[in-house]
Amino acid sequence: MAFTNQYLADLYDKVVARNKGEVEFHQAVKEVLESLEPVVEKHPEYIKMGVIDSIVEPERIIKFRVPWVDDSGKVQINRGFRIQFNSAIGPYKGGLRFHPSVYEGIIKFLGFEQIFKNSLTGLPIGGGKGGSDFDPKGKSDMEVMRFCQSFMTELSKHIGADTDVPAGDIGVGGREIGYMFGQYKRLRNEFTGVLTGKGLTYGGSLARTEATGYGLCYFTEAMLNDHGDSFKGKTVVISGSGNVAIYATQKATQLGAKVVALSDSNGYVYDKDGIDLDAVKEIKEVKRGRIKEYADTHPSAEYHEGCSGIWTIPCDIALPCATQNEINEESAKTLVKNGVKAVAEGANMPSTPEAIEVYLNNGVLFGPAKAANAGGVATSALEMSQNSQRLSWTFDEVDAKLKGIMENIYANCAAAAKEYGLEGNYAAGANIAGFKKVADSMLAHGVV
């Protein structure tokens, strides 16, 4: 798709020139700006008051050295980032990613997406994201602890329960959040909800671990129901085998579907009898092993090297839950050829723009990441509320709120798409609905 609005086309060129080589960020900005074309036609005040120019520029970028000592006594140096992108509707909120591919462009794209996602939840949270090029894979617990302590030593100067509340993302789960929380508490001598995704013994929320995967399925079920369909009896392919993938598998199965494939960054397993989730949890959550090991103990399963082959498995519903740009045009065409009915994104930006075009042109129901995976951050915001109240809600209470939030997000995306003449295009609907709340708040705040 090309821009028809010259102002937005020029602004996009400016973003590319100012953020050289940050291709993931360019991709995320382009997708949002294209969706905003009908909005700026109707609301020229957003352009006049510089709202769109402001929204593509982070409020603050923090970049720092993270020195730590490995088990052999050698000093290691990593890079840390926190991008505080937009605080118009609440304190910055967004995960930390520890993965060797992390650089400023990845964190910027994730932080930018987070603004709209957080707005869609209906909760008062702004957008931010952070992380490091540290790779937790293959590191001992003590190495991970030393890294997390060093990372938090710098990060603690910039965050706070009313300022910026990070959470987990790729490579950052309960273990890492625990080490970072411990260090923050020690440095600041305060026990506050400065991180979410905490353990249940020290302020974590029930259902936060499950929230992104469960939320993805609640969103998808709402989208399917609106089209007279449901998960019941469907064959589902899910990529990844981390936090999001595991709990998406659990909820899709509870809703009556059969999940037949999962993956990691080395390859994928296909189990025609349906994935045995307890075995996956044991491999990934307890042993921190590889998905390949699943096939060793399950004769009904095949293991294949490489990630993209997972999209050649025929399925009714595809839930990409690993990483950005994991479904390209070719994979999308294969999914369509094999009769996929719905694609909903658990990962952030897992479909390339060309893949999205393929879904939309072939009548595939498409749940975009910033709407479909917003359940994680929504439940993080519920964790913040519980911490502020110094109360803990039950699993069922949190889960019921999550389900209601995801159904609302679907309804709002559908309504916004319809209002702007793009009925059924939930990607555009998510961008528009997420944008408007933030933009109106920015207008109210003046030029700041």
Q: Which residues contact ligand NDP by CB under 6 A?
A: 168-171, 173, 212, 240-245, 264-266, 307, 321-323, 346-348, 373, 376
- Nearer to ligand NDP by C-beta: 80 or 171? 171
Least distance (Å) from ligand NDP to the CB of residue 172?
7
Which tokens go with 427? 């990607």
| Nearest alpha carbon to residue 432 among 404, 412, 408 | 412
> Residue 25: in which H helix or E strand, if any?
helix 23-35
Are the C-beta atoms of 416 and 156 separated by less than 8 Å?
no
d(CA 197, CA 129): 15
337 is catalytic: no
Q: How far apart are the first and last CA of the chain?
A: 32
- DSSP 3-state of 217: helix
- Nearer to ligand NDP by C-beta: 183 or 323? 323
Signed CA dihedral, 416, 422, 425, 431: sign only: negative
Least distance (Å) from ligand NDP to the CB of residue 337?
23
- Nearer to ligand NDP by C-beta: 40 or 402? 402
Least distance (Å) from ligand NDP to the CB of residue 9?
29
Residue 258 Cα distances to 76, 255, 350, angstroms:
44, 9, 22
Q: Exposed, middle or buried: residue 233 (CB in 10 Å: 0-12, 13-18, 19+)? A: exposed
Residues sharing a CB contact under 8 Å with residue 170, sequence separation 6 or more, in sequence order: 97, 98, 99, 242, 323
**Catalytic residue (choose from 108, 117, 129, 370):** 129
Least distance (Å) from ligand NDP to the CB of residue 284?
7
- Nearer to ligand NDP by C-beta: 231 or 247? 247
Residues sharing a CB contact under 8 Å with residue 10, sequence separation 6 or more, in sequence order: none
Residue nearest to ligand NDP (CB): 242
Least distance (Å) from ligand NDP to the CB of residue 446?
32
Residue at 56: amino acid letter: V
- DSSP 3-state of 344: strand
- Nearer to ligand NDP by C-beta: 11 or 378? 378
- Nearer to ligand NDP by C-beta: 12 or 116? 116
Query: DSSP letters of 426-439?
Result: HHHHHHHHHHHHHH
d(CA 218, CA 237): 16
Which tokens go with 116? 């709209």
d(CA 84, CA 13): 23
Least distance (Å) from ligand NDP to the CB of residue 13?
28
Distance of CA 62 to the CA centre of its chain: 21
Are the C-beta atoms of 318 and 341 separated by less than 8 Å?
no
The residue count of the chain comes to: 448
| Nearest alpha carbon to residue 286 among 212, 175, 143, 176 | 175
- Nearer to ligand NDP by C-beta: 87 or 114? 114
- Nearer to ligand NDP by C-beta: 310 or 442? 310
Which residues does the annotation mark as catalytic?
Answer: 129
